[in-house]
Homo-oligomer: A and B are copies of this chain.
Amino acid sequence: MKHYTSINDIDNINSWIEEAKEIKANPLTNIEIGKNKTLGLLFFNSSLRTRLSTQKAALNLGMNPIVMNVSGDAWGIEFGDGTVMNGNTAEHIKEAAAVVSQYCDVIAVRAFPTLTDKEKDNSEQVLNSFVQFASVPIVNMESATGHPLQGLTDAITIAENTNKKKPKVVLSWAPHIKALPHAVGNSFVQAMQKMDVEFVIANPEGYDLNPEITKDTPIYHNQAEAFKDADFVYTKNWSSYESYGQNLGGNEDWVITKDKIGDAKFMHCLPVRRNVVVEDAVLDSESSLVIEQANNRTYAAQLVLKKILEDL
Protein backbone atom coordinates (compact mmCIF):
# COMPACT_ATOMS: atom_id res chain seq x y z
CA MET A 1 0.00 0.00 0.00
CA LYS A 2 1.30 3.45 -0.89
CA HIS A 3 -1.03 5.91 0.89
CA TYR A 4 -3.87 5.48 3.36
CA THR A 5 -6.16 8.40 2.74
CA SER A 6 -9.59 6.82 2.65
CA ILE A 7 -11.56 3.71 3.59
CA ASN A 8 -11.42 2.95 -0.13
CA ASP A 9 -7.75 2.08 0.33
CA ILE A 10 -8.81 -1.05 2.23
CA ASP A 11 -8.77 -3.86 -0.32
CA ASN A 12 -10.36 -6.52 1.87
CA ILE A 13 -11.86 -5.37 5.13
CA ASN A 14 -12.29 -8.84 6.57
CA SER A 15 -8.66 -9.78 6.14
CA TRP A 16 -7.62 -6.38 7.51
CA ILE A 17 -9.78 -6.98 10.60
CA GLU A 18 -8.21 -10.40 11.11
CA GLU A 19 -4.73 -8.94 10.80
CA ALA A 20 -5.59 -6.13 13.22
CA LYS A 21 -6.76 -8.70 15.77
CA GLU A 22 -3.44 -10.52 15.45
CA ILE A 23 -1.58 -7.27 15.99
CA LYS A 24 -3.73 -6.54 19.03
CA ALA A 25 -2.96 -9.97 20.47
CA ASN A 26 0.79 -9.46 19.98
CA PRO A 27 1.46 -5.78 19.43
CA LEU A 28 5.26 -6.03 19.47
CA THR A 29 5.69 -8.83 16.94
CA ASN A 30 6.72 -6.41 14.22
CA ILE A 31 8.89 -4.12 16.28
CA GLU A 32 11.80 -4.57 13.86
CA ILE A 33 9.89 -3.52 10.77
CA GLY A 34 10.03 0.21 11.45
CA LYS A 35 13.51 0.36 12.92
CA ASN A 36 15.29 3.62 12.04
CA LYS A 37 12.20 4.76 10.16
CA THR A 38 10.56 8.04 11.06
CA LEU A 39 6.87 8.86 11.15
CA GLY A 40 6.12 12.57 10.91
CA LEU A 41 2.80 13.48 12.51
CA LEU A 42 1.63 16.87 11.26
CA PHE A 43 -1.25 18.46 13.10
CA PHE A 44 -3.15 21.39 11.65
CA ASN A 45 -5.81 20.74 14.33
CA SER A 46 -6.31 19.48 17.87
CA SER A 47 -6.07 15.80 18.66
CA LEU A 48 -5.96 13.49 21.66
CA ARG A 49 -6.66 9.91 20.55
CA THR A 50 -5.20 10.25 17.09
CA ARG A 51 -2.11 11.97 18.42
CA LEU A 52 -1.39 9.39 21.09
CA SER A 53 -2.57 6.21 19.37
CA THR A 54 -0.69 6.90 16.16
CA GLN A 55 2.49 7.55 18.10
CA LYS A 56 1.91 4.39 20.11
CA ALA A 57 1.34 2.43 16.90
CA ALA A 58 4.58 3.78 15.46
CA LEU A 59 6.48 2.84 18.63
CA ASN A 60 5.02 -0.68 18.54
CA LEU A 61 6.55 -0.99 15.07
CA GLY A 62 9.90 0.38 16.23
CA MET A 63 9.47 3.66 14.36
CA ASN A 64 10.56 7.06 15.64
CA PRO A 65 7.57 9.39 15.77
CA ILE A 66 8.19 13.13 15.30
CA VAL A 67 5.21 15.30 16.16
CA MET A 68 4.65 18.80 14.86
CA ASN A 69 1.83 21.28 15.38
CA VAL A 70 2.11 22.86 11.96
CA SER A 71 0.21 26.02 12.78
CA GLY A 72 2.01 26.77 16.03
CA ASP A 73 5.49 25.38 15.45
CA ALA A 74 6.15 26.23 11.80
CA TRP A 75 4.85 28.61 9.09
CA GLY A 76 1.50 29.33 7.49
CA ILE A 77 1.21 27.04 4.47
CA GLU A 78 -0.05 28.13 1.06
CA PHE A 79 -2.00 25.64 -1.05
CA GLY A 80 -3.01 27.78 -4.02
CA ASP A 81 -1.36 27.21 -7.39
CA GLY A 82 0.46 30.18 -8.82
CA THR A 83 -0.31 32.38 -5.81
CA VAL A 84 1.67 35.56 -5.31
CA MET A 85 2.52 34.86 -1.68
CA ASN A 86 2.35 38.36 -0.28
CA GLY A 87 -0.16 37.52 2.46
CA ASN A 88 -0.18 35.43 5.63
CA THR A 89 1.24 32.23 4.21
CA ALA A 90 5.03 31.94 4.22
CA GLU A 91 5.64 28.51 2.73
CA HIS A 92 4.04 26.68 -0.17
CA ILE A 93 2.82 23.11 0.23
CA LYS A 94 5.01 22.19 -2.77
CA GLU A 95 8.08 22.89 -0.67
CA ALA A 96 6.62 21.90 2.71
CA ALA A 97 5.54 18.44 1.60
CA ALA A 98 8.72 17.78 -0.37
CA VAL A 99 10.86 18.98 2.52
CA VAL A 100 9.15 16.90 5.20
CA SER A 101 9.57 13.92 2.89
CA GLN A 102 13.32 14.37 3.26
CA TYR A 103 13.12 13.70 7.01
CA CYS A 104 10.21 11.30 7.40
CA ASP A 105 9.64 7.90 5.84
CA VAL A 106 5.90 8.25 6.30
CA ILE A 107 3.86 11.44 6.86
CA ALA A 108 0.59 11.47 8.75
CA VAL A 109 -1.58 14.56 8.42
CA ARG A 110 -4.58 15.94 10.29
CA ALA A 111 -6.40 18.84 8.66
CA PHE A 112 -10.04 19.65 9.32
CA PRO A 113 -12.49 21.13 6.80
CA THR A 114 -13.37 24.79 6.52
CA LEU A 115 -17.08 23.90 6.79
CA THR A 116 -17.68 27.09 4.84
CA ASP A 117 -16.31 26.14 1.40
CA LYS A 118 -17.96 22.90 0.32
CA GLU A 119 -16.07 22.61 -2.92
CA LYS A 120 -12.68 23.18 -1.27
CA ASP A 121 -13.47 20.67 1.47
CA ASN A 122 -14.65 18.07 -1.03
CA SER A 123 -11.47 18.56 -3.01
CA GLU A 124 -9.45 17.54 0.08
CA GLN A 125 -7.00 20.28 -0.75
CA VAL A 126 -4.64 19.78 2.19
CA LEU A 127 -4.54 16.00 2.19
CA ASN A 128 -4.32 15.69 -1.57
CA SER A 129 -1.62 18.32 -1.76
CA PHE A 130 0.48 16.21 0.56
CA VAL A 131 -0.22 13.16 -1.60
CA GLN A 132 0.74 15.15 -4.69
CA PHE A 133 3.86 16.91 -3.45
CA ALA A 134 5.30 14.53 -0.88
CA SER A 135 7.59 11.77 -2.04
CA VAL A 136 6.65 9.39 0.78
CA PRO A 137 3.43 7.66 1.85
CA ILE A 138 0.68 9.78 3.41
CA VAL A 139 -1.64 8.65 6.20
CA ASN A 140 -4.89 10.50 6.78
CA MET A 141 -5.29 11.30 10.49
CA GLU A 142 -8.64 12.99 9.70
CA SER A 143 -9.13 15.18 6.73
CA ALA A 144 -11.91 17.42 5.48
CA THR A 145 -14.18 14.55 4.47
CA GLY A 146 -12.80 11.37 6.01
CA HIS A 147 -11.30 9.79 9.10
CA PRO A 148 -10.30 6.37 7.79
CA LEU A 149 -8.21 5.35 10.81
CA GLN A 150 -11.38 5.81 12.86
CA GLY A 151 -13.51 3.97 10.31
CA LEU A 152 -11.13 1.02 10.32
CA THR A 153 -11.08 1.08 14.13
CA ASP A 154 -14.86 0.96 14.18
CA ALA A 155 -14.99 -1.97 11.80
CA ILE A 156 -12.55 -3.88 14.01
CA THR A 157 -14.55 -3.04 17.15
CA ILE A 158 -17.82 -4.21 15.63
CA ALA A 159 -16.23 -7.44 14.44
CA GLU A 160 -14.89 -8.09 17.93
CA ASN A 161 -18.23 -7.48 19.60
CA THR A 162 -20.67 -9.61 17.71
CA ASN A 163 -21.27 -13.25 17.00
CA LYS A 164 -24.03 -12.57 14.54
CA LYS A 165 -23.57 -13.31 10.89
CA LYS A 166 -25.14 -10.02 9.88
CA PRO A 167 -25.59 -7.67 12.84
CA LYS A 168 -27.68 -4.54 12.48
CA VAL A 169 -25.64 -1.36 12.72
CA VAL A 170 -27.19 2.10 12.93
CA LEU A 171 -25.29 5.32 12.47
CA SER A 172 -27.26 7.95 14.32
CA TRP A 173 -26.81 11.69 14.19
CA ALA A 174 -27.09 13.29 17.64
CA PRO A 175 -27.33 16.91 18.76
CA HIS A 176 -24.38 19.19 19.42
CA ILE A 177 -23.81 22.87 20.15
CA LYS A 178 -21.24 23.36 17.43
CA ALA A 179 -21.04 22.78 13.71
CA LEU A 180 -18.97 19.63 13.24
CA PRO A 181 -17.27 17.95 10.26
CA HIS A 182 -18.68 15.00 8.32
CA ALA A 183 -15.41 13.07 8.31
CA VAL A 184 -16.19 10.47 10.96
CA GLY A 185 -19.69 9.86 9.65
CA ASN A 186 -18.44 9.48 6.08
CA SER A 187 -15.70 7.00 6.92
CA PHE A 188 -18.02 4.97 9.14
CA VAL A 189 -20.53 4.76 6.29
CA GLN A 190 -17.83 3.62 3.89
CA ALA A 191 -16.52 1.05 6.33
CA MET A 192 -19.95 -0.40 6.99
CA GLN A 193 -20.69 -0.59 3.28
CA LYS A 194 -17.72 -2.93 2.99
CA MET A 195 -18.80 -5.18 5.86
CA ASP A 196 -21.40 -7.90 6.05
CA VAL A 197 -23.81 -5.94 8.23
CA GLU A 198 -27.32 -4.56 7.96
CA PHE A 199 -26.49 -0.89 7.92
CA VAL A 200 -28.82 2.09 8.15
CA ILE A 201 -28.36 5.77 8.91
CA ALA A 202 -30.63 7.89 11.10
CA ASN A 203 -30.56 11.67 11.00
CA PRO A 204 -32.99 14.59 11.07
CA GLU A 205 -34.11 16.08 7.79
CA GLY A 206 -31.54 18.50 6.48
CA TYR A 207 -28.68 16.39 7.80
CA ASP A 208 -28.35 13.75 5.08
CA LEU A 209 -24.67 13.08 4.43
CA ASN A 210 -23.13 13.47 0.98
CA PRO A 211 -25.21 11.16 -1.26
CA GLU A 212 -22.09 10.19 -3.20
CA ILE A 213 -20.93 8.56 0.01
CA THR A 214 -24.18 7.19 1.44
CA LYS A 215 -25.16 5.79 -1.98
CA ASP A 216 -27.94 3.24 -1.45
CA THR A 217 -27.59 2.98 2.33
CA PRO A 218 -31.08 3.50 3.80
CA ILE A 219 -31.52 6.85 5.57
CA TYR A 220 -34.22 7.21 8.22
CA HIS A 221 -35.43 10.56 9.44
CA ASN A 222 -37.16 8.72 12.28
CA GLN A 223 -34.67 7.65 14.91
CA ALA A 224 -36.90 5.13 16.71
CA GLU A 225 -37.67 3.33 13.51
CA ALA A 226 -34.00 3.08 12.62
CA PHE A 227 -33.08 1.78 16.07
CA LYS A 228 -35.47 -1.18 15.89
CA ASP A 229 -33.50 -4.41 16.55
CA ALA A 230 -30.21 -2.57 16.37
CA ASP A 231 -27.13 -4.43 17.61
CA PHE A 232 -24.88 -1.37 17.41
CA VAL A 233 -25.77 2.29 17.64
CA TYR A 234 -22.90 4.40 16.39
CA THR A 235 -23.49 8.02 17.30
CA LYS A 236 -21.98 11.16 15.87
CA ASN A 237 -23.00 14.71 15.28
CA TRP A 238 -22.33 16.39 11.99
CA SER A 239 -23.37 19.70 10.51
CA SER A 240 -25.68 19.92 7.53
CA TYR A 241 -24.20 18.87 4.21
CA GLU A 242 -26.99 20.45 2.18
CA SER A 243 -26.90 23.77 4.07
CA TYR A 244 -23.20 23.29 4.10
CA GLY A 245 -21.45 23.35 7.44
CA GLN A 246 -24.40 24.73 9.38
CA ASN A 247 -25.73 23.65 12.73
CA LEU A 248 -29.44 24.05 12.06
CA GLY A 249 -30.35 23.98 15.76
CA GLY A 250 -33.17 22.03 17.41
CA ASN A 251 -33.37 18.23 17.27
CA GLU A 252 -32.32 17.96 20.92
CA ASP A 253 -34.67 14.97 21.13
CA TRP A 254 -32.13 13.05 19.04
CA VAL A 255 -29.93 12.69 22.12
CA ILE A 256 -29.01 9.05 22.74
CA THR A 257 -30.60 7.53 25.83
CA LYS A 258 -30.58 4.09 27.44
CA ASP A 259 -34.27 3.79 26.71
CA LYS A 260 -33.77 4.39 23.03
CA ILE A 261 -30.96 1.96 22.40
CA GLY A 262 -31.98 -0.86 24.75
CA ASP A 263 -29.47 -3.70 24.54
CA ALA A 264 -27.60 -2.33 21.55
CA LYS A 265 -23.91 -1.59 21.94
CA PHE A 266 -23.12 2.11 21.98
CA MET A 267 -20.24 3.48 19.92
CA HIS A 268 -18.75 6.95 19.49
CA CYS A 269 -15.39 8.14 18.20
CA LEU A 270 -14.89 10.61 21.09
CA PRO A 271 -14.56 13.29 22.28
CA VAL A 272 -18.22 13.28 23.25
CA ARG A 273 -20.21 15.95 25.07
CA ARG A 274 -21.99 14.12 27.84
CA ASN A 275 -25.71 14.81 28.26
CA VAL A 276 -25.76 16.74 25.00
CA VAL A 277 -24.95 13.96 22.52
CA VAL A 278 -25.61 11.02 24.84
CA GLU A 279 -26.75 10.52 28.40
CA ASP A 280 -24.32 9.57 31.17
CA ALA A 281 -26.37 6.41 31.69
CA VAL A 282 -25.33 5.10 28.27
CA LEU A 283 -21.65 6.02 28.47
CA ASP A 284 -21.32 4.62 31.98
CA SER A 285 -23.05 1.36 31.12
CA GLU A 286 -21.64 -1.97 30.03
CA SER A 287 -23.10 -1.34 26.58
CA SER A 288 -20.63 1.40 25.82
CA LEU A 289 -17.72 0.42 23.58
CA VAL A 290 -16.15 3.87 23.40
CA ILE A 291 -13.03 3.04 25.41
CA GLU A 292 -12.47 -0.16 23.46
CA GLN A 293 -12.80 1.87 20.27
CA ALA A 294 -10.12 4.22 21.55
CA ASN A 295 -7.95 1.21 22.33
CA ASN A 296 -8.40 -0.16 18.83
CA ARG A 297 -7.19 3.10 17.34
CA THR A 298 -3.67 1.90 18.12
CA TYR A 299 -4.08 -1.35 16.25
CA ALA A 300 -5.82 0.21 13.27
CA ALA A 301 -2.97 2.69 12.93
CA GLN A 302 -0.43 -0.06 13.48
CA LEU A 303 -1.98 -2.18 10.74
CA VAL A 304 -1.94 0.72 8.30
CA LEU A 305 1.64 1.66 9.10
CA LYS A 306 2.73 -1.96 8.87
CA LYS A 307 1.21 -2.31 5.41
CA ILE A 308 2.91 0.90 4.32
CA LEU A 309 6.28 -0.12 5.77
CA GLU A 310 6.06 -3.49 4.05
CA ASP A 311 5.72 -1.72 0.71
CA LEU A 312 8.45 0.88 1.21
Which residues of A are in contact with B by a Cβ distance under 8 Å? 28, 31, 36, 38, 40, 43, 46-49, 51-53, 55-56, 59-60, 64, 66, 68-69, 72-75, 78, 82-86, 89-92, 94-96, 98-100, 102-104, 177, 270-276, 280, 283-284, 290-291, 294-295, 297-298
Contact = CB atoms under 8 A, between A and B. Distances in A.
Contact of A73 (B59, B69, B94, B297): B69
Given A73-B47, A91-B272, A53 B290 contact: no
Given A48-B68, A48-B100, 4 more contacts: A83-B274, A83-B275, A86-B177, A94-B274
The winner among A52, A75, A295 for most chain B CB atoms within 10 A is: A52
B48 A104 contact: no
B276 A85 contact: yes
Contact of A276 (B28, B84, B276): B84
B274 A102 contact: no
**Copies per assembly:** 3
Nearest to A272: B95
A123 to B, nearest CB: 20
A284 B69 CA distance: 27
Dominant secondary structure of chain A at its interface with chain B:
mixed
Contacts of A66: 52, 55-56
The winner among A51, A83, A103 for most chain B CB atoms within 10 A is: A103
A56 B36 CA distance: 10
A103 B50 CA distance: 10
Contacts of A78: 274
Given A40-B52, A51-B68, A291-B95, A102 B273 contact: no
A181 to B, nearest CB: 13
A242 B170 CA distance: 56
B272 A82 contact: no
B31 A47 contact: no
A73 B60 CA distance: 23
The winner among A96, A271, A290 for most chain B CB atoms within 10 A is: A271
Contacts of A284: 94
5 contacts: A36-B59, A51-B68, A69-B72, A92-B271, A96-B271
Nearest to A102: B295
Given A36-B28, A48-B96, A59-B38, A271 B75 contact: yes
A36 B47 contact: no
B48 A99 contact: yes
A36 B46 contact: no
Given A38-B59, A69-B73, A276-B86, A294 B98 contact: yes
